[in-house]
Chains A and B, each alone.
Chain A
């Protein structure tokens, strides 16, 4: 693998700095999010959320967890195509996928921590004493936890590449310089330097495969999660095929997410969109989206659940919105013109992402309507802003990593680079990415 490492650079060297007015706005949103967390920790869930005994799960599960995780599929789908299938031309994009996935998979558990009633016992599922093999949630939790570790491992080489031998934290973290250096050295040795004989691959390769396996497992289990709700879940979604549908949609949305992220990167760092490679990636997407769509329709008709499309309900409209966006994205991706034009491609990818997000939110929240319950759950403002804050966190951290860790392709600049201000290098924070 290492012999295919792409030509990359960090944005810091191009004169970009972390703090911009935009960053400050996002940090403002994160502060609001922290405020909500504060409210929850001191006054309980009912103080900030609209959850009650009838609707125990809300958007913090539907969006902050299920949606973040499906969008995080960008990491494993790219790792698969670049490193396992062996299309090394996607290596740079795969880096962006790993970083984006890492952030999604970091903030989903953070949100869970705030959502858990007895969060100080969150570590229970890790220890065999509390293992419960029948619980789908247990399986999801374990796989997500392991996969987060794998993502961190996959992220290490990018940091090693730039900072090994050059760690220079700012004060007071500078006292950890030696320690960080050691850590990077050991990680480098274990992951990249040891070449396993005969197959001649570094240990890292095995983690990459593990990441794909774990992803397949928990992406599908996330679908099994709501199967147990049985008739409490609206029949437009409730299906024993849910795990397969979830897995397929994760496959399908991985590339659109990457296209979306890559285009935003190019726009915001004044680079030409990497259209050549993105179009190639986009070529797979209509197939994947198409298979997902056909499966979904087949499942719906097979169960005879299409009759519920003629009954009035909120769920019906949620379903139509989700599937409408899916069809729109599918049709757009089928047009060669769309796949070749950055703006169209951006739009198509956005639709695909929103459709998957809507699907996750629908299955976990909208479709859940227990019998005999008259009121409906609508997220509170605080819940909403908490979610917004988490999304802002992903963006801010992403920017931070792009600036300090080499994950962007070299060259392709169109704008004159901003003047490198004489600002003390925050190399420190860089190594911060290491942990």
Chain B
């Protein structure tokens, strides 16, 4: 069964059931339902997977610009591509190699590489989840982390559908969450380090609206090369990293398919339960009346142990 479909179905019906049981009427109370135009001017990067040759120079650039720990295996060593990797303490972006064409001889068993880093979602699940608001979506686009607020609960890691945030489990006292910042310390004067370092110029930095236009233009002129959709235009509610892909996203391990932001459903449930505090207060009053009634009945029926 198609898990995505089933989840969506479930989301709609179940969410309505719960919201309906808590308050009659309107179920939507969250701050969602953003207009895509809101994100037009966000900083964004368009990544062309067909240009990427898997050289890992972006990983190195990311490591250097963010002053991260040195990895055990040097960035020049391409043998690491044999295994699927995720972001970690040494680099906030990773390249993975896929063979989406399988035995298709026409394509020469060509590999396709995919760069992964924080997608800088328009409506990020990590931000929705963070217990203290240590993660926030800046109006410029990047999703940023504030270590002075973070309590290290790691709920953001549970929430992120792309499995991006990294936590320093070996730090006893000052562990922090790490992830791509879209090189906020470099822009707008300089390009993000990975974008600048890429020898293939596989990435274009710019405003989200412009990049979407650019991307669609490229796709139109090369319909035989690219998938018709830009991954990230609508995915998970839209993201700031946009991917031009030669094959369907699932073949490159991009399993997030839903266009609904991951945080939406839980926010809807939560806000329905707390709408203007009506449900909790109503419950309180109901219980109070119940208690009042039972205490009255006790008084009347001259129960054992009565004093008055």
Contact = CB atoms under 8 A, between A and B. Distances in A.
Are A and B genuine complex partners? yes
A40 B170 CA distance: 9
A117 B167 contact: yes
Interface stretch (A17-25, A225-233, A251-259, A409-417): A225-233
Contacts of B174: 118
B167 A56 contact: yes
Interface stretch (A92-100, A119-127, A279-287, A391-399): A119-127
Contacts of B46: none
A350 B130 CA distance: 36
B24 interface: no
Contacts of B220: none
B261 to A, nearest CB: 10
A267 B13 CA distance: 48
Given A44-B172, A134-B30, A241 B14 contact: yes
Interface of A: 1, 3-5, 40-47, 49, 51-54, 56-57, 80, 83-86, 88, 116-122, 124-125, 130-139, 141, 199-201, 205-206, 208-210, 212-213, 216-217, 220-221, 224-232, 235, 238-241, 243-244, 299, 302-305, 307, 368, 370-374
A117 B152 contact: yes
Nearest to B164: A53
B263 interface: yes
B154 A135 contact: no
25 contacts: A3-B308, A45-B170, A49-B169, A53-B166, A54-B163, A84-B287, A85-B290, A86-B290, A86-B297, A88-B298, A116-B152, A117-B171, A118-B175, A119-B152, A135-B129, A201-B291, A228-B262, A232-B158, A235-B3, A241-B14, A244-B18, A304-B6, A304-B9, A371-B253, A372-B253
- Chain B contact patch, size range: 35 or more
B152 A304 contact: no
Given A4-B305, A118-B150, A212-B287, A235 B6 contact: yes
Contacts of B170: 43-47
B175 A44 contact: yes
A307 B5 CA distance: 14
Contacts of A370: 163
Interface in B125-175: 125, 127-133, 149-155, 157-159, 161, 163, 165-175
Given A86-B294, A134-B128, A228-B266, A241 B17 contact: yes
Interface string B269-282: 11001100000100
Nearest to B149: A130
A64 B251 CA distance: 39
Contact of A40 (B86, B161, B172): B172
A116 B270 CA distance: 23
A49 B290 CA distance: 47
B7 A238 contact: yes
A328 to B, nearest CB: 27
B158 A229 contact: yes
Given A117-B150, A132-B130, A235-B7, 7 more contacts: A47-B170, A118-B150, A205-B291, A216-B283, A230-B161, A235-B3, A307-B1
B38 to A, nearest CB: 17
Contact of B151 (A1, A119, A224): A119
Contacts of A205: 291
Nearest to B127: A134
Contact of A53 (B84, B157, B293, B306): B157
